[in-house]
Amino acid sequence: MITEKITQNMEVIGADGVHVGTVDGVANGRIKLAKRDSGEGQHKNHEHFIHLGLVADVEGQRVRLSANAAVAVTFEEERSGKPV
C-alpha cells in the first residue's frame, strides 16, 4: 500500500516537480503537511492536508502528486476538512 511508503519529512511535489510541502504525517486518508510550508497571511502556521487520492507515486524521498503544484494546492484542506 502506498501509504506505508510515505514517511515524515518526505517532500511532496506536484506532477510538474514543483514543491508543494513536506510530510508531517499520514492519517485518516490524508497527508498532513508541515506547518512551515503553510504559506503566508491567514494560512501561516496552520495545518494543511492533502488527500491520498492525489498521490501518483512515491519516488525515493518524494511523494509525487497526480496534479501540478498550482492545482494541487487548491485541493489542500484545513484539519476540519474545509478547503484552505
Tell me, what CATH number does 15's domain have?
2.30.30.240
Q: What is the pTM of this model?
A: 0.86
Determine, yes or no, domain membership for 81.
Answer: no
What is the domain count for the chain? 1
pLDDT, position 83: 67
Domain that holds residue 31: 2-75
Tell me: pLDDT of 19 over 50. yes
pLDDT, position 41: 38
Determine, yes or no, domain membership for 21.
Answer: yes
Separation of alpha carbons 12 and 63, rounded Å: 5
**pLDDT tens-digit readout, 39-58:** 543 445 567 899 999 999 99
Determine, yes or no, domain membership for 19.
Answer: yes
Tell me: pLDDT of 15 over 90. yes
Classify 74 as helix, strand or coil: helix
pLDDT, position 35: 81
Burial class (CB in 10 A: 0-12, 13-18, 19+), 56: middle
